[in-house]
Structure 1
Amino acid sequence: MRFLFVGDSMTIGRAGDFTWRYRMWQHLSRLSDGPYEIVGPRTGLYDHATTAATSDAYADPAFPPPARRHLAGWGEGWLHMAPAIREAATAARPDILLVSLGLIDLGFYTNSTQTIANTHHFIAEARAANPHIRLVLLPVIPNIRATTDAPFAAECARFNELLAKTTADLSTPASPILLASVPPSYTLTTDTYDGTHPSPAGEHKLAAAFADAMHQAWGLGGPYQPAPTGASPSRTAPHRRQHPITARDIKPT
């Protein structure tokens, strides 16, 4: 089973972060269902000094380079990823996309109607690369701007409604789409370091949102269990497991 993380600054992370991708790697590495691989064309973290994804300074140096792969970018949203996903998915051959996008779109580029149109474009392009691809989509978690900008907050809420409808309308047995749940206990004060980007506590909650969605809907893996910060999985080959996960391991939608 091959996973590709797709996201914006909340997913790529900055120099010195663990990232929720790291938390998901820890989770996947503890499962016993079978071998898996994290794939994607990028590996870096965003570096404020260079204003580019040029850093490899993950908070845990033991995070293995193959597991650092992703398709995420600081300041990139559905608008940017829709035209990029077909090439990335063709090259990396992911089975499952874990997608956290939308906040940057609504904040700087497009309104909710335009953003959901880009979401549809993304899904179509992903399926052009793999008609059987599976997607798990995380709704937008409004950031601190939404506490004082009512129109922006309304656009976030409307987009999430449109995303739920899109998930229901476009999911198929051949290419199912899951809508993950925003962590109910997620707060900007404890789960972000600046009102937007996840703190270590927030990273665990974002990883749990994806892990629990896949477990509950598809029977994939198990419920999310956070590992201690900086603790690497105990397996000899942390990005592989012993028994393959196949389509038989996933419950029909």
Structure 2
Amino acid sequence: MDQRPSRAARRIGAGLGLTLALVAGALAPAAAEAGPAGTAAAARTEEDTVRIMPLGDSITGSPGCWRALLWADLVEAGHTDADFVGTRPGDGCGFEYDGDNEGHGGFLVTDVADRGLLVDWLARTEPDVVLMHFGTNDVWSGVPAETVLDAYSVLVAQMRDQNPRMRVLVAQIIPMDPARSCAGCGRGVEDLNAAIPAWAAGESTAESPVTVVDQWTGFDTGTDTYDGVHPSGSGDRRIADRWLESLLPLFS
């Protein structure tokens, strides 16, 4: 188990904002000179590393190669202080990358909230930032948007219990093709995505902002998925680009 209670206490007690930690890591000469993968990880210190948890279902974890692209983009932008965290290892995506994640194929976000599964994942990995794309299986199972949002609220509360300064990036999830998923899936995704901005505004705080990331607009299930649900290569590229756009301001 990855246990760092003293790190969490130092982070909160010292009152260090995430942006200051990011800037400190970006300016550290050793981190700036380190290359991808192992050399970058070796150069980072405990305090200048920003721990990012990709959280979701199979779109995040199986194999979730948008994570590989996003990590490579962050390294290329000079942010070698980023550390992806999770209890699950990464899959092969054609090149070496930081694959740790919390993407669980087939999981419903409502079930994760009801069973309290995130509490243990957070305790074992201590993220500073969570990228959450979650709810596809709930929509497929006919779970109403309001119930999904209630689950989101439970997870955000658990994140803040672990880290009061958690930065939460929540996706408006990618569309599903009704012809290749379920008859009501297309409309279900639209309903959920339409409700997310107001939910996020109600949950966001100055200390722990909740940012909506639009992964839905412009995503074409015909070309950006291989089965109407899971992203193809072009879909992975689109997803990575949208996450990157929202992550980069945290590093400036």
TM-score interval, smaller chain? 0.7 to 0.9
Which structure's relative contact order is higher, taking Cα pairs within 8 Å and 6+ residues apart?
A: 1
Structure 2: distance between partners of 1:205 and 1:42: 23
Match for residue 187 of structure 1 among 220, 228, 231: 220
Name the residue aligned to 2:62. Answer: 13
Q: Residue 24 of structure 1: CA displacement?
A: 0.9
Per-residue CA shift, 1:63-108, capped at 9, x if unaligned? 24xx111111111131243322222122211110011111111112
State the secondary structure of the residue aligned to 1:180. Answer: strand
Name the residue aligned to 1:242. Answer: none
2:127 is the counterpart of 1:78: no
Q: Residues 107, 28 of structure 1: CA spacing in aligned structure 2 closer, same or farther, 3 A cutoff? A: same
- Equivalent residues of 1:38, 1:68 under 8 A apart: yes
Structure 2: distance between partners of 1:37 and 1:6: 14
- C-alpha RMSD of matched pairs (Å): 2.1
Mapping for residues 173-252 of structure 1, pairs under 5 Å: 173-182=206-215, 184-215=217-248, 219-221=249-251, 249=252
Structure 2: distance between partners of 1:11 and 1:33: 21
Structure 2 counterpart of 1:188, one-letter code: T
- Equivalent residues of 1:180, 1:209 under 8 A apart: yes
Name the residue aligned to 1:121. Answer: 154
Name the residue aligned to 2:175. Answer: 142
Structure 2: distance between partners of 1:77 and 1:189: 24
Structure 1 stretch 157-166 or stretch 147-156: which is displaced more?
A: 147-156
Structure 1: distance between partners of 2:128 and 2:84: 10
Q: Residues 149, 90 of structure 1: CA spacing in aligned structure 2 closer, same or farther, 3 A cutoff? A: closer
Structure 2: distance between partners of 1:133 and 1:107: 29
- Equivalent residues of 1:87, 1:129 under 8 A apart: no
Name the residue aligned to 1:59. Answer: 93
Name the residue aligned to 1:49. Answer: none
Per-residue CA shift, 1:208-238, capped at 9, x if unaligned? 11111233xxx235xxxxxxxxxxxxxxxxx
Match for residue 100 of structure 2 among 47, 52, 69: 69
2:149 is the counterpart of 1:112: no
Structure 1: distance between partners of 2:104 and 2:164: 25
2:87 is the counterpart of 1:41: yes
Matched residues, percent identical?
A: 24
> How many aligned positions are there?
201
- Equivalent residues of 2:168, 2:209 under 8 A apart: yes
Could you tell me which runs of 5 or more consecutive residues in structure 1 were left unpaired when the two chains were aligned. 45-55, 222-248
Name the residue aligned to 1:2. Answer: 51
Q: Residue 151 of structure 1: CA displacement?
A: 4.1
- Equivalent residues of 2:175, 2:219 under 8 A apart: no
Structure 1: distance between partners of 2:162 and 2:77: 28
Structure 1: distance between partners of 2:176 and 2:184: 13
- Equivalent residues of 2:56, 2:132 under 8 A apart: yes
Name the residue aligned to 2:125. Answer: 92
Per-residue CA shift, 1:169-194, capped at 9, x if unaligned? 11111101110012533211111111
Match for residue 74 of structure 2 among 19, 28, 32: 28
Could you tell me which runs of 5 or more consecutive residues in structure 2 were left unpaired when the two chains were aligned. 1-49
Structure 1 stretch 33-42 or stretch 131-140: which is displaced more?
A: 33-42
Structure 1: distance between partners of 2:175 and 2:138: 12
Structure 2: distance between partners of 1:139 and 1:19: 18
- Equivalent residues of 2:176, 2:185 under 8 A apart: no
- Equivalent residues of 1:181, 1:213 under 8 A apart: no
Choose between structure 1 and 2: higher helix proportion.
Answer: 2
- Equivalent residues of 1:146, 1:152 under 8 A apart: no
- Equivalent residues of 2:140, 2:181 under 8 A apart: no
- Equivalent residues of 2:180, 2:228 under 8 A apart: no
